Structure 1
Amino acid sequence: MNYKKMTSALLTFGLLCPLSTEAIHAQEINNNQVKVEVAQPGLTIGKLTEPQNDTKENIAKKYLKGEVQGSKAQQEQVTTEKSVDFQLTNKETKENQTEVRLTQTYKSYKVYGQDLIVKVDKNGVITTVSGKVAQNLAQQPNLTITNFLSKNEVKTFLRNALQTPNDALEKEFTGETVIYKKQDGSYTYADVITFTYENDDQIINGQAIIDLIHSEMLFQEKIVKNKEKQPVPQAGIPQLSSVKKHGAGVNALLEKTLFNIAKGTDGKFYLADLMRGNGIYIYDANYADSQGGYDQAGYPGTLVSSTSTTFVDKEAVGVMKNMSAIYDYYKTKHNLKSYDNKDAKIVASVHGFDSTEVSDGVKTNYENAFWHPVWNQMVFGDGLNGKLTSAIDVTAHEFGHAVFSGTTKNKVVKYPNDETNALNEGLADFWGTQIEFYVKKDKGNWIMGDTLDGPTIRDIPNEIGDHGKKLYTNLQDFYNDGNNQESHQNSGIISHVLYQLVEGKTYNGVTVAKQGNDKVSKIVMRALQNYATSAEDFESLHSHIVQAAKDLYGNAVATEVDKAFLAHGYKALPQVNEVIDVQNRK
């Protein structure tokens, strides 16, 4: 079991959570002077401008384009480069300020994954800028090229790359041309495409990213639905309503449990919790072959039902028990409603199967679980005698991918860099441990999947990763890993930092004071909700988490947080980074 199914390559992933009741220790800013209080990688805080009389969106755009005279900024967060602009993606009120999220554009094309957060107070003063601006795009050779693949050439290339049957008709083809940063650091023009093809036998849909200059497939996600395996239309499900009486069942660990259920107009009881958000629904996929996550036929499956309030499907009972606790954890501890803070419907399928991972072909031997961002659901196999579905940390890990996406408002189909992939996996492990501690109290631990009676998935304290491999915990391991950059192996570069901080351990000769689960989880959540962007990297997350600690608990705690990062090879954060006076640049 390695959790790598559909979690690192795809979007797994609102920022609406009100601030914790913990006291805020933010430093007061002189109201009469433009001043920078914090200037660290990907983060600037202070009274960064004089009051501006314009819309909050325009104030943010002008700042990022270096057009607000007398403002203070970091070089990496502004640009005066011609043809660069910024488009609004989200705007909301948070902590009596307007949070404006924008994506960078060049020659009217979006720079893929390059988004920034700008906070503007009621007087039109910018107080926070988070994220980084892509610089010197005019110097990128590929971006000077104007003759690249036409729409028809893209369509031909895509059909060939997908091996689409000749008789399959195009039912959908939408594409957006973007500026895309490749693995080698160069930028190119690329199309981000959503497609659907259909013939008498199959429906083929998904997403792809194609390099328009070099005719190269940068990413593809193809889902094949065989028409003869189409699931029963959901309209066939009777209307459901909540019932006061709880459902009961036993999970694969032989634990008796109670949970919310619904009753259908057909008189049956269903494994649907309608009392939490827009519902938690557990389906039986009946071993439909997901084929590496590319075949959705049979998913989510049939909603699990019973003629009485007792449910005998131990795998389904296990997932419902876990998801109820997971939902309650985020709502109780962080006031986060589902994974998107909009109470999105939560869907999970048990009795899943993936023939690409089961060598003997026995469907009940599928020993994995995954969150599928396109299907917006979790899938669990029956392997390890069904215990996979009863492991709270396993379910919480998968749901943690959705939380990462929801809190950072990611709308990309593929994370822009390998660092974001690793952070996604490491933070999913962190949430897995936090929810296990929430449920099991002092019996929780930092070992992923320790109740499975099988090989350990990841042992964070002992730095053991998938299949007994070394779990990287030092930042230099990531940079020394060549072209591998496997996200699960690199996940320890953040999860071990948080482990040391929670437990107060000594690592690489550095001892930090124990902060505990509750405090560290609030710090991480605040960083994700207020500072993290789509292209989060190790350096920026370091500064964002340290700042979140300072916001909530003051300088002393922030110092301990910083020490934990330094112990793992992160660079020291500058007290004041290089700040420029925008007025002098005009």
Structure 2
Amino acid sequence: MLTLLGLGCMIGNFGNLVYAEQTNSGGISLEKDNSMGRIPDFKKGNLTPISDQNPEIVIFDYLNTNKESYQLGSKKAEDSFDITQITKDPVTHFTIVRLQQRYEGVPIWGYTQVAHISEQGVLKVFSGDIAPNLDQFHSLQVTRKIDETKAIEIAQKDLNMQVTYEENPTSMPYIYLQNGKPIPVYMVHLNFLDPEPGNYYYFIDVQNGNIVDKYNTINSTSVTDRKVPMVGTNTMGTGKGIWGDVKSLPITLLENKYYLQDTTRGAMIVTYDAKNRLQVPGIIWSSITNVFNQSYDAAAVDAHYYTGITYDYYKNTFNRNSYNNSGAALYSTVHYGKNYNNAFWNGSRMVYGDGDGHTFTSFSGGLDVVGHELTHAITETTSNLIYRKESGALNEAISDIFGVLIKQYQNRNIDWEPGKDISVSRNQAMRSMSNPTKYGDPDHYSKRYIGANDNGGVHTNSSIINKAAYLLANGGTHYGVTVNGIGTDKMGAIYYRANIAYFTESTNFSQARVRLIQAANDLYGGSSSEVTAVKASFDAVGIQ
């Protein structure tokens, strides 16, 4: 069986799955019940008057005016929130501001917000979970009895594995909410690829050293590739992919060698060879000719070519310049490990295994797989959806959605079955977006997985959102609800906008519904058939 490893990993083994039988209920509301009290998690309208103040002041004035509604206690908003990102919205020309909630200067894990301010200085949207009344909790008034170094030691002991770190372990103070109770913790980050990929987050109680929580994801945000781009001559080459198809490749000629380095897109696209070892980046792929036709070349040819197609899709469709919208270099490593049955994004590069040769072949041989991994990078630099439970399943679904849309962009038939092109038989996929139950995944919220495996079912429950997206694009009747399809282009535009403009780290399925409706409203108008279709698509999968 195949084993799930983390963010960007395409497949997993979930053992004895536990599924829900009940449905969620209740209509869309601007108010949200949480374990710490009822507070708004999405508000829109003219929330503030016209102002010539900068966006930060507009937001802080709004929060200070509405302290009671958000249950912020005695603290000023300026002392409770940090501005983490400011961007310009290409659709509305509003300023989009992302925030991180803090208490006494310490960030609160998973509590981020996003605000939209019009060109007239009016706050139009405020979205995201807020932890209320933190100053009422005596648990925050503690003396730290362990330090950062001890917290790392505790995490390493629990890991119980000899690893080669990709980056030095780190430990940072956070506040972690457990069942509504805030606990001061150290967040320990352990990132490694050998003996197997791991990117662990541990939350260690500062009082007693207990492990409050832990989970594994392949989402390293600080691994960097320090290789200097080769300065040579841009030229073209050709190569054969894993299925023998010939592809044109932008490459670099330097000192009588041809390298898989494309400097015509963003900063550059570079493809590396791990030589079946567990270290990355490996060495830059090269040849003495500009023809890459050897069987060992095939995985690199596909990775290089499909990364370029993925870059082109986002640039030509959304005017997005690489995953960070600032032209970041795109690195791929192929031939990772031996018979490694997976692919993942590790925070700095796409990494592809060769497959076991029985079920799957090289994972870089699927354009939808390459698009899936690079979309994880976009999510990481925008909404940064936490890779657990519903936010993690939403993260996975977004990557599946854009994987198939990128495949369609290259004028291929859209089959709605991620991973089919890397199946040895070419008739078995990892998931089905049109019929999730084909591979044992839920197609309705009432059937969702509620166990602890797979970070709370990120690869299983993603199928519920996948089905909603499929219905939104194609239409159909599901569980007695009829959806009028709006086509793949509009579906993609709505999901892209929601991810970059409205989703926050902890967005769950119900919140995603509200934010996708708002994205459709922005693009097509509040009374449009597109907004109606978004609502119906979520009705059809039982998400209210």
The alignment's TM-score, normalised by the length of structure 1, stands at 0.75
Q: Which residue of 1 aligns with 2:7?
A: 7
**AA partner of residue 530 (structure 2):** V
**For the Cα contact (< 8 Å) 2:152–2:188, is it kept in 1?**
no
Query: Which deviates the most, 90-99 or 506-515?
Result: 90-99
Q: Which residue of 2 aligns with 1:407?
A: 382
Q: Which is bigger in relative contact order (C-alpha 8 A, separation at least 6)? A: 1
Q: Note the alpha carbon deviations across 1:361-393, whole angstroms, 9 max, x for none.
A: xx2x322212112x4333332543745322111
Q: Distance in 2 between matches of 1:82 and 1:3?
A: 48
Q: Distance in 2 between matches of 1:335 and 1:370?
A: 25
Alpha-carbon distance change, 569 to 141 in structure 1, aligned in 2, over 3 angstroms: farther
Tell me which of 352, 355, 368 is aligned to 2:342. Answer: 368
**For the Cα contact (< 8 Å) 2:151–2:171, is it kept in 1?**
no
Q: Which residue of 1 aligns with 2:504?
A: 533
**TM-fit CA distance, 1:437:** 1.3
Q: Which residue of 2 aligns with 1:582?
A: none
Q: Which residue of 2 aligns with 1:447?
A: 417
Query: Which deviates the most, 276-285 or 187-196?
Result: 187-196
Q: Distance in 1 between matches of 2:450 and 2:188?
A: 31
Alpha-carbon distance change, 157 to 366 in structure 1, aligned in 2, over 3 angstroms: closer
**AA partner of residue 187 (structure 2):** V
Tell me which of 173, 193, 196 is aligned to 1:177. Answer: 173
Alpha-carbon distance change, 132 to 155 in structure 1, aligned in 2, over 3 angstroms: closer
Tell me which of 389, 393, 397 is aligned to 2:364. Answer: 389
Alpha-carbon distance change, 252 to 205 in structure 1, aligned in 2, over 3 angstroms: closer
SS in 1 for 2:304: helix
**TM-fit CA distance, 1:260:** 0.6
Q: Which residue of 1 aligns with 2:288?
A: 307
Q: Distance in 2 between matches of 1:79 and 1:52?
A: 25
Q: Which residue of 1 aligns with 2:532?
A: 559
Q: Distance in 1 between matches of 2:51 and 2:469?
A: 40
RMSD, aligned CA: 3.3
Q: Distance in 1 between matches of 2:466 and 2:191?
A: 38
Q: Distance in 2 between matches of 1:5 and 1:161?
A: 18
Q: Which residue of 2 aligns with 1:132?
A: 129
Q: Distance in 2 between matches of 1:351 and 1:52?
A: 56
Q: Distance in 1 between matches of 2:82 and 2:372?
A: 33
**TM-fit CA distance, 1:288:** 0.6
**AA partner of residue 181 (structure 1):** L
1:147-226 matched pairs, under 5 angstroms: 147-151=144-148, 153-158=150-155, 160-161=157-158, 174-182=170-178, 184-193=179-188, 208-217=202-211, 218-219=213-214
**For the Cα contact (< 8 Å) 1:192–1:208, is it kept in 2?**
yes
Query: Which deviates the most, 128-137 or 49-58?
Result: 49-58
Q: Distance in 2 between matches of 1:394 and 1:196?
A: 23
Alpha-carbon distance change, 516 to 67 in structure 1, aligned in 2, over 3 angstroms: closer
**TM-fit CA distance, 1:96:** 3.6
Q: Which residue of 1 aligns with 2:443?
A: 473
**TM-fit CA distance, 1:338:** 1.3
Q: Distance in 2 between matches of 1:494 and 1:176?
A: 33
Q: Distance in 1 between matches of 2:478 and 2:137?
A: 42
Q: Which residue of 2 aligns with 1:35?
A: none
Alpha-carbon distance change, 219 to 557 in structure 1, aligned in 2, over 3 angstroms: same
Q: Note the alpha carbon deviations across 1:320-339, whole angstroms, 9 max, x for none.
A: 22111111111111111111
**AA partner of residue 258 (structure 1):** S
Q: Percent identity?
A: 27
Tell me which of 81, 101, 106 is aligned to 2:103. Answer: 106
Q: Distance in 1 between matches of 2:200 and 2:262?
A: 30
Unaligned runs of 5+ in 2: 10-28, 33-40, 193-197, 219-224
Q: Which residue of 2 aligns with 1:25?
A: none
**TM-fit CA distance, 1:446:** 0.5
SS in 2 for 1:80: coil
Q: Note the alpha carbon deviations across 1:223-276, whole angstroms, 9 max, x for none.
A: 9xxxxxxxx9947x8x333424x2101111111111211112x22000111101
Q: Note the alpha carbon deviations across 1:398-438, whole angstroms, 9 max, x for none.
A: 22211211232x3x9xx274111111111111111111111
The alignment's TM-score, normalised by the length of structure 2, stands at 0.81
